[in-house]
Structure 1
Amino acid sequence: MTTVLPIYSTIPALQSQLNQHHEAILEAAPGAGKTTAVPLAFLDANWLGQRKIVMLEPRRLAAKSAAKRLADQLGEPLGQRVGYQIRQEGKQSANTQILVVTEGILTRMLQDDPSLDDVALIIFDEFHERNLHSDLAFALSLQARELFREDDPLKLLVMSATLDSERLTELLHCEPIICEGRQFPITMRYANLSLKQQDVSLQIAKQVQQALREEDGSILVFLPGQREIRTVQNLLENQLPDNTELLSLFGDMSMTEQEKVIAPAPEKQRKVVLATSIAQTSLTIEGIRVVIDSGLSREARFDAKTATTRLHTRRASQAETIQRAGRAGRLQAGVCYRWWSEEQQHRLAAHNAPQIELEDLSHLVMDVARWGVQEREELDWISLPPLAHWQQAKSLLTQLGLLETSDSLALTADGEALASMPLPPRLARLLLEASRRGEAQSALEAAALLYEGVSKQHQDSNLHNAITYATKGKAWQRSINALQRHLPNNKSDRSFSLAACLATAFPDRIAMRQRQQGGETLFKLSNGRQALLANHDSNANSDFLIALELGGHAERDADWLYLTWPIALNELEQALADQIEIIERCEWDKASGGLVGAAETWLGKLKLKQERLNHLPDSAVTMATCHYIRQQGLNVLNWDEDSLALRARIQFAHRHLDPSMPDASDECLLERLEDWLGPFLTGVKRIQQLEKLSLLDPLMVLLDWPQQQSLQTLPIRIPVASGSNIKVDYQGEQPVIRVKLQEMFGETQSPMIAGQTVKIELLSPAQRPLAVTMDLAFFWEESYPDVRKEMRGRYPKHPWPENPLTAEATAKTNRALRNS
């Protein structure tokens, strides 16, 4: 090793830390050489013995590239002292001391052997990326060494250029070791612009042309996604010098295509690489000395409410821009172009959110269930998984038949069988079902395609077409062979189609065709989301589809269907019989004035079909009628005088007699319709019947027997001085009676009901109000003389004595009194 890397000055401190302790944190600037130099520094450590150093890298290409650089420094081929293991590919031997892996590999190593007796040190490289597997592997490593390596603790080293180290310091009980320097200086060039997202691509194309004029060497351009890469490609087409090659680098590309991009350019040639964040860390693209940063980053955010992942484009964080700029100074002095200002740079968020807070957690929860944990809090996480994401993952695993219930992490027999498969839960479920139903080969092809990632280069969503495209690559057969080894062998006599097998793995992704809108066809999914297909897609006219791969952008209401498979309704009903619900429903039809009923077949939030019901079940009638009343209001019911009086008595009793009596307000009656009115709705199938239904008996259902007895203490009528029984009105705050004035002669006390003074409306012989009082004695003395003076001439046939207190109370006229 002839190159002097900045990390070399820090290695003694790092060696001392791990010689004396079992944990270390290294924060080293981009280009310091940590990935290249640190693992080799421990090959002669006494604590290593015959055991391995396992180093984690966030991506397959990064892992393979790092292993190659380490082996080159030892002057050995890959597979000797330095090996690597990535998905379906690896090189190692009995002599391997440093094994470079992706995080998913370490998770499986821990699941298979929690003690990891043959491993002395785990290095978490580029830990700032905080993907799901790195967070899980870190949490499992902490618990594994606590449970199984107490006498000989597993050493842990966390490395990154930018770390939010407070939580790491708390968990590892050590302070970060800092390596400040980078290998070569980087000149920052700010354009001091303020741009909207849609204007960034044009500015990037201009900066590429500017950099080609001003600087030597190859250029690495960071863009948020493939859409922007294509835009900039089109803008630069035929605009570059003859000695400049325009290349792309993104995750959907094959390993072979990615390796071609990072290889050195031919002599006297330069290249412009348009890349997503895949090139942000770990990878060294030969010849790069200029970085042009779009300042944007695209991340997938999982919505736990709809179980859908959508793409969001946001401003890059400070940590991301530092990592990107560092790509320019790895091999020589470099330059980084930024369209924004230095002042704006300081206002960027320090770090981006970890994947564990953004993504679908079903695979992680499956791994945790296999590990034996029952609650999130049992593991020491860098960031605790969000509760909503955690619960949604458990719900999906239960729906897939892999967890006993969504309230626990107890695996079913199928869950136990599939937990060890290195596949996401959906694909593991697909292979299990297909192996049982005689569709193993076709399911293998589908699983391989989904596992490796769907290429967006074909224009049709049909799974068969995507498989045809995928088989052109050599990696295809490797994927098939690797999955074949994990295929369960428990065939059932009952056969299913591939569509039915896919449905069992994607029960929340069943899509039903709705309508065409412009050049697109709208589908509704069983999880409630909407998704689109182009009208020219071969599956656009299918009534039902399985949405195997879908996604979208935050600015769109509907997702886009990237990969689909058609399924017939009868296949769907067969495959998901245990998840399909038949609901008998009826509703009031205003046009006919009656009830119409239907049997609805539902899968999740998707109504698959509807059939007319000739016989309407009582429960459906009750539900529909109550819904109708809630929509229209209580005034659609038959509130005659007696019903209103009873309701008012009940409400008065609730307020003044006994608070435990039911509340008869509109709000409460509507809320409890099923309780009090429901039993009387049997046979009510016409609006006219509803409008004639007596409410006396239904209202009494509100009251239990003791309450009915208590209600009887509130009189319907009360006697007055004349001997008449006058009806009591309970609809106000005080009970009210309306009585002819002459019938109250001689009475000085207002009656009382439930401790409330009865309000008396005194009426003329024509039944018109003369006065309202709650104090008869005061009325006779103060108000009556004026009333007598005015009324005796108007109603001379009725008694108007000077002294009402001594007069006979009567409802009769003067003549009737004389004749009596």
Structure 2
Amino acid sequence: MTARMPVEQAIPELKEALEKHGSAVLVAEPGAGKTTRVPIALLEEPWLAGSKIIMLEPRKLAARNAARYMASTLGEKVGETVGYRVRMDTRVGPRTRIEVVTEGVLTRMLQSDPSLEEAGLVIFDEYHERSLQADLGLALALQCRALFREELRIAVMSATLEAEPVASLLGGAPVVRSEGRMYPVETRYAPEKTQGATEAETTAFVLRALSEQSAGDVLVFLPGAGEIRRVEARLRPALAGKAVDVAPLHGSLPQEAQDRALAPSAPGRRKVVLSTAVAESSLTVEGVTIVVDAGLMRVPRFSPRTGMARLETIPVSLASADQRRGRAGRLAPGVCYRLWTEEENRYLAPAGTPEIVAADLASLALDLAVWGVENPQELAWLDPPPAAAYQQARELLTELGALTEKGGLSPHGERMARLGVHPRLAHMLLRSVPLGLAEEAGRLAALLGERDLLRGEQRRDVDIALRLKALRHGGAHVDERVRERLLAEAAELARSAVACGEAGAGGGKEAAGTAGTARAVRAAGTAGTEGTAGAASEEGGAAGILLGFAYPDRIGRRRGPGRYTLSIGRGAELPAGQLLAQAEYVVVAELDDQGQEGRAQLAASLEAADLERHFASLIRREETVRWDAEAQAVRARESRLLGAIVLSERPLAKPSAEKVAEALLQGLRQEGLAMLPWSRSARQLQERGIFLAGADSAWPDWSDAALLDTLEDWLAPYLGGMKSRADLQRVNVAQALESSLSWEQRSRLDREAPTHIAVPSGSRIAVDYSDPKAPFIAVRLQEMFGLPDTPRIAGGRVPLTVHLLSPAQRPVQVTRDLASFWSNAYFEVRKDLKGRYPKHYWPDDPLEATATRRVRPPGS
């Protein structure tokens, strides 16, 4: 007889809500019993009518343990009334009524049966964790109910959740609350601010907790399996000879190790459980009254800018910290040690970021494509997928061949979805089958899901071929338990790939393999090239090809010592001292997202011949015709490109005349109009046009900026056969400018902006338009006698500025009002000039005098 749990008080209200509304939100604190008591309590409800209950758990470890516990309360084994389905592990039978599922299993169940015919209730447990699969599963379940099964019940259960938005998403579902049974928990903070908890600090806090608290087991929260291993390695010698056991707890451990961590301590002994966030709410670790919280969690982050996904270690949220603290108060009063200060606690984020807004969405996009949805806005979401990340996910799927060019699901995409792994790995597995490399691909896929198989100094080497070799053969730097689990997983992945029927049909945009490819790969792998990274083993020979299938956007070419340009367009740098840095081509499986030059963390070499053979359809030919500023000429080259990588290039013998002209014009825009041979007449023509445009806005703009903007209109027709600055010296700029005008415009230009003005002496004086706001003529004063008013241009609208000169061609007066000059200033100027030039003609009345170009007019 199991003890009564707090959630049982809320079950009658929950039953009523599901019966009358069809949906409900249950908020129950950790330890209330919602995961194991609610499904069993609802099993015999009349509206269920013998149908199944499907319960989604965010973690497979929690799913297995929840199913085992529920089965034990019924006095049965897992697989009878209660069973579970997780990736690569299913325990259900013909009598199973409650199925605990995770890792996209619910999504695949819906995809294979959109009406979910066998189920009467779908429960989303621990929904506050906001996993990507939970959000997707809920969106699909809601559409399933709307389209096919209005009688399908949906319940959302959570420990710390803002219930109202979820209730609204469920159509105004009732919110049922259950209070947990909590004992007081004392919180002790670090005395000083830390830079992030280290393994040494965590170990010190655990030892302090054991010393200060004389009884009770300790639950330690760490961000990942790597940190757990390192803290375990420090604790074991420190606790040697003491009645304290150390037990790691994370999803990658074998079932027996997980059971040891969850079981009560043996009489007279204490236990330290080193756990990831899996013990935060989904699992109950028996005997815990002490929590040590490192204050960190590892979350997936995706950058639309780079297209890269990575796991990022960040401070825990306030909601998660409080849940972790609560694990110490389930059985008795407890204590929680936090490795951060009370001041730092005030700055913690209130809650974690939903995975859907920060993670890689490739799997989501593929699942939606299988469901028949291109635009996620067709579904109901608590938080919709970000548009930029979702679009990049679809672009990746198209590159992998999962989507057709029109955006629909391809047959290859259907097979990828059936494998239930990330689309990159699914594509790699399927492409490996016709090459005879399914076993290698399975091992590689298993390794890519693990933090790192190697230990110690060997982990510094980023070459994944070393991991493949270690997985295959073992070694002193390998955890054998992890190796055995990965080998089993790899074998299952390989079998699944072969079972999808991909043999003989290449998937994706890349060329399919040939019958001799596997032999060629193996031969290259075993023969190798001395000193070439990754080529000295079969693992190295295959790894680059297979990784290239998974990461075609991260194939890189060497551009300096340890530095590579990736096909995606960004840079990657290998850590110092890597043998792999000798390779001409690499594929990067893991890359940090720090700036334009990311640090490669896991990679493999790729032979040039393998790149040409297996990725031929990704290679494009491109003709580049561009202006070379150094050579001051157009350069034409033919390049072979893989994304942003230049594989080879050579001079282009016969480039397109249009492209040459475009490049030459681009050079002009870079260098400026000074590249052209401007004659005096050409420059004067431009200045006349600029003047006329200032007087009439309808006139074409011939300023330097405008001419550069319109090179195609007025200059391009005169560039035939030209491709350098030297060639441009043959251009007749004046002719090119004039030809851009119509006959009427040319006539008007000559009429309203004349090159010369006739003066009374008979001379034709050039008009200077260098200042378009004040065109002027410079003429000897004696040649203007008899002209009463200032000459005008632009149809009489603009008076010329007149520079009146002495017989020695020196200015004596500048005026735009010639009549006023004759009436006033002339007599003073006459007096001065007559004294300096007595032989010249200086009449008393300039308006009655005869203009002359000589010293004196004839007959005077």
Q: 8 Å contact 2:800–2:816 — kept in the other structure?
A: yes
Q: 2-side partners of 1:702 and 1:134: how far apart?
A: 66
1:507 is matched with which residue: 518, 531, 552?
A: 552
1:538-553 equivalences under 5 Å are 539-547=580-588, 549-552=589-592
| 2:241 alignment partner in structure 1 | 242
Aligned to 2:798: 757
Q: Given the alignment, which residue of 192, 197, 204 partners 1:206?
A: 204
List runs of 5+ in structure 1 lacking aligned partners: none
Specify the SS of the correspondent of 2:582.
coil
Asked if 1:777 corresponds to 2:819, the answer is yes
CA-to-aligned-CA distance 1:152-208 (integer Å, 9 cap, x gap): 2x11111111113343132111343222334443222233533333x6655433322
Amino acid of the residue matched to residue 643 of structure 2? G
Q: Which amino acid aligns with 2:498?
A: Q
Residue 183 to residue 763, structure 1, CA distance change in 2 (3 Å): same
Once the two structures are TM-superposed, the CA of residue 86 in structure 1 deviates from its matched residue by 0.2
| Residue identity opposite 2:426 in structure 1 | A
Q: Give the corresponding residue for 1:571.
A: 611
Q: Does 2:468 match 1:467?
A: yes
Structure 2 unaligned runs (5+)? 473-482, 507-511, 522-541
Cα gap change, 1:71 to 1:231, in 2 (>3 Å):
closer
On the 8 A contact 2:199/2:231 being kept in 1, the answer is yes
Counterpart Cα distance in 2 of 1:253 and 1:622: 66
Q: CA deviation at 1:83?
A: 0.4
Describe the shift of the 1:789–1:155 C-alpha distance in structure 2 as closer, same or farther (beyond 3 A): farther
Alignment partners' CA distance in 1, 2:394 and 2:688: 51
Deviation at 1:124, TM superposition (A): 0.8
- Contact 1:418 1:429 (8 Å CA) reproduced: yes
Cα offset, 1:101, TM superposition? 0.4
Preserved CA contact (<8 Å) 1:507 1:576: no
Q: Which residue of 2 is the match for residue 137 of structure 1? A: 137
Q: How has the CA–CA distance of structure 1 residues 748 and 620 changed in structure 2, closer, same or farther, with 3 Å as cutoff?
A: same
What does residue 646 of structure 2 align with?
A: 607
Secondary structure (helix, strand or coil) at the match of 1:558 reads strand
**Cα 1:396–1:652 shift into 2, 3 Å:** farther
- Map of 1:383-462 to 2, 5 A cutoff? 383-405=383-405, 409-416=407-414, 418-436=416-434, 439-450=437-448, 455=453, 457=455, 459=459, 460-462=461-463
Distance 1:361 1:59, change over 3 A: same
| Shift, 1:6, TM fit | 2.1
The structural deviation recorded for 1:725 is 4.0
Say which SS state the counterpart of residue 65 (structure 1) adopts.
helix
Whole-angstrom distance in 2 between the partners of 1:230 and 1:700: 81
Secondary structure at the aligned position of 1:349 is classed as coil
Q: Is the 8 A contact 1:252 1:453 kept in 2?
A: no
Preserved contact between residue 664 and residue 724 of structure 2 (Cα < 8 Å):
no
Deviation at 1:111, TM superposition (A): 0.9
Partner residue in 2 for 1:170? 168
CA 398–277 in structure 1, closer or farther in 2 if over 3 Å, else same? same
Task: Map Cα deviations across residues 500-553 of structure 1 (whole Å, 9 max, x no partner).
Answer: 56534422111112333xxxx222211123223345555332111222x20326
Normalising to structure 2: TM-score of the pair? Answer: 0.84
**Aligned partners of 1:246 and 1:271 also within 8 Å:** yes
How is 1:66-215 mapped onto 2 (pairs within 5 angstroms)? 66-150=66-150, 152=151, 154-172=152-170, 173-191=172-190, 193-197=192-196, 202-215=200-213
> How high is the sequence identity, in percent, across the aligned residues?
37
Secondary structure at the aligned position of 1:363 is classed as helix
Work out the CA distance in 1 between the residues paired with 2:728 and 2:354.
59
Which range moved further: 562-571 or 693-702?
A: 693-702
TM-score, length-normalised on structure 1?
A: 0.88
Secondary structure of the 2:15 match is helix
* Offset of residue 692 of structure 1: 5.7
How far off is 1:404 after superposition?
3.2
User: Following TM superposition, by how much is the alpha carbon of 1:118 offset from its aligned partner in structure 2, in angstroms?
Assistant: 1.1
Partner of 2:679: 640
The answer to whether the 8 A contact 2:295-2:338 is kept is yes
| Aligned pairs (5 A) from 1:178-577 | 178-191=177-190, 193-197=192-196, 202-215=200-213, 216-225=215-224, 229=228, 232=231, 236=235, 238-240=237-239, 242-243=241-242, 244-250=244-250, 258=258, 261-342=261-342, 344-405=344-405, 409-416=407-414, 418-436=416-434, 439-450=437-448, 455=453, 457=455, 459=459, 460-471=461-472, 472-473=483-484, 474-491=488-505, 495=514, 496=517, 502-516=547-561, 521-534=562-575, 537=578, 539-547=580-588, 549-552=589-592, 554=594, 557-569=597-609, 571-572=611-612, 575-577=615-617
Partner letter of residue 281 of structure 2? Answer: T
| 1:3 match: secondary structure | coil
Structure 1 counterpart SS, 2:93: coil
What is the distance in 2 between the residues matched to 1:116 and 1:739? 96
The one-letter code sitting in structure 1 at the alignment partner of 2:622 is: I
* Cα deviation digits, residues 95-140 of structure 1 (max 9, x gap): 1111000040011111111111211111111112212211111111
Describe the shift of the 1:354–1:646 C-alpha distance in structure 2 as closer, same or farther (beyond 3 A). Answer: farther
Distance 1:419 1:246, change over 3 A: closer
**Secondary structure of residue in 1 paired with 2:324:** helix
How much does 1:649 deviate?
Answer: 3.9
Contact 1:280 1:320 in 2 (8 A): yes
Equivalent residue pairs, number: 806
Letter paired with 1:309:
A
Q: 1:598 to 1:324 in 2, by over 3 A?
A: same
| Shift of residue 572, structure 1, vs aligned partner | 3.4
Quick check: 1:509–1:525 contact (8 Å CA) kept in 2?
A: yes
Report if aligned partners of 2:217, 2:270 keep a CA contact under 8 Å in 1: yes
The alpha carbon displacement at 1:258 in A equals: 4.8
Task: Give secondary structure in 2 for the equivalent of 1:396.
Answer: helix
CA 1:575–1:475: 2 relative to 1, 3 Å: closer
User: Contact 2:571–2:596 at 8 Å: present in 1 too?
Assistant: no
Counterpart Cα distance in 2 of 1:716 and 1:231: 90
- Is the aligned partner of 1:581 residue 2:579? no
Distance in 2, Cα, partners of 1:155 & 1:200 = 46
Asked whether the equivalents of residues 5 and 183 of structure 1 are also in contact (C-alpha less than 8 Å), the reply is no
Contact 1:551 1:560 in 2 (8 A): yes
Change (3 A) 1:512 1:296: same
Partners of 2:462 and 2:600 within 8 A in 1 = no
Change beyond 3 A, Cα 1:463–1:204:
closer
Note the aligned Cα RMSD (angstroms): 3.5
For the residues of structure 1 that align with 2:178 and 2:396, how far apart are their CA atoms?
A: 44
Decide which moves more: 4-13 or 765-774: 765-774
How far apart, CA to CA, are the structure 2 residues paired with 1:599 and 1:702?
35
Greater Cα shift, 777-786 or 705-714: 705-714
Greater displacement, 307-316 / 553-562 = 553-562
Check whether the contact 2:805–2:813 (CA below 8 A) recurs between aligned residues.
no
What is the distance in 1 between the residues matched to 2:748 and 2:389?
52
Cα deviation 1:296-351 (Å, max 9, x = unaligned): 33333211121112444433221221222233234443321124454543442222
- State the SS of the aligned residue for 1:136: helix
Give the Cα separation in 1 of the matches to 2:224 and 2:821.
Answer: 88
Q: Which residue of 1 aligns with 2:775?
A: 736
Query: 2: distance between equivalents of 1:290 and 1:388?
Result: 44
The range that moved more, 664-673 or 326-335, is: 664-673
Of 724, 727, 743 in structure 2, the residue corresponding to residue 689 of structure 1 is 727
Alignment of 1:633-712 (within 5 A): 633-659=672-698, 661=700, 663-673=701-711, 676-690=714-728, 693-699=731-737
- Judging changes above 3 Å, is the alpha-carbon distance between structure 1 residues 83 and 798 closer, same or farther for their aligned structure 2 residues? farther
Determine if contact 1:62/1:282 at 8 Å carries over to the other structure: yes
- Give, in whole Å, the separation in 2 of the partners of 1:431 and 1:33: 41
Kindly provide the amino acid, as one letter, of the partner of residue 427 in structure 1.
L
In the alignment, the residues of structure 1 paired with residue 676 and residue 53 of structure 2 have an alpha-carbon distance, to the nearest angstrom, of 79
SS class of match (1:163): coil
CA change 1:437–1:209 in 2 (3 A) is closer
